[in-house]
Amino acid sequence: MKLHRESKGTITVATILFLVLGALAIYFLKIWSLLIIVPLLVIYCLVFWFFRVPNRSILDHRENVIAPVDGKVVMIKEVEENEFIKGKAIQVSIFMSPLNVHICRYPVTGKVIYKKYHPGKYLVAWHEKSSTENERTTVAVETATNHKVVFRQIAGYVARRIVFYCNEGDQAKAGHEFGFIKFGSRMDVFLPLDTEIICKIGDITKGGLDVIAKLKD
């Protein structure tokens, strides 16, 4: 199993804590130390599971909007996107639990024309205001179909570290990685009003694989 590059620091700290706490438990509790070591081992394994990088065959896409993350569709609605689009758009939001793969992928193919990091609050990720008030990043891509699509990584109550690697001028490929969120949060995608929405609320998505919408060509 491959591990994501963002795992290095967290796994180093987790390993040190596991060894120190395990050694202390064995020294002081003897046979009863298993009551401490077994739960610690489960948590330690979950850290590795969180940073897993699954093998996925990513196809080429033009009109298709691809799920940017693994998770659950929790919102599909018409909203005002005031940072970049500055007008009405269809917002599709996908919530990630701590057990999901947390690689963030481009939802569309095109060229990165905008990126910005925003410090902010840490409301629970399914809160509607988290899209505009939480710590977040915003990226806009001009697509191969001449549309402007905005997507946003949002930190949540637990997830307090978001990273994105793209820069303005980069070529975006739908389904390919552009960032990572640690320990559960959400992704918002803002699409043109005439976009055909294929997903529905409650759908479980696989990042890079599932088509959630289709742009007009």
Would you give per-residue pLDDT tens digits along the chain (217 residues)?
Answer: 799 999 999 999 999 999 999 999 999 999 899 999 999 999 999 999 989 999 999 999 999 999 999 999 999 999 999 999 999 999 999 999 888 999 999 999 999 999 999 987 766 655 666 666 788 899 999 999 999 999 999 987 655 578 999 999 999 999 999 999 887 688 999 999 999 999 999 999 999 999 999 999 8
Burial (Cβ within 10 Å: 0-12, 13-18, ≥19) of residue 203 = middle
In angstroms, rounded to a whole number, what is the distance separating the alpha carbons of residues 67 and 73?
A: 10
8: its two tokens: 């290095």
- Check residue 125 and give its pLDDT: 58
Burial (Cβ within 10 Å: 0-12, 13-18, ≥19) of residue 108 = buried
List the catalytic residue out of 7, 93, 130, 185. 185
In angstroms, rounded to a whole number, what is the distance separating the alpha carbons of residues 217 and 203?
A: 25
216: its two tokens: 């007009």
Task: Mark 150-187 as b/e (b = at least 16 C-beta within 10 Å).
Answer: bbbbbbbbebeebebebeeebebbbbebbbbbbbbbbb
Instruction: Reply yes or no on whether 185 is catalytic.
Output: yes
In angstroms, rounded to a whole number, what is the distance separating the alpha carbons of residues 84 and 16?
A: 44
Q: Which CATH number does 64-214 carry? A: 2.70.70.10
Parse the chain into domains and list their residue ranges.
2-53, 64-214
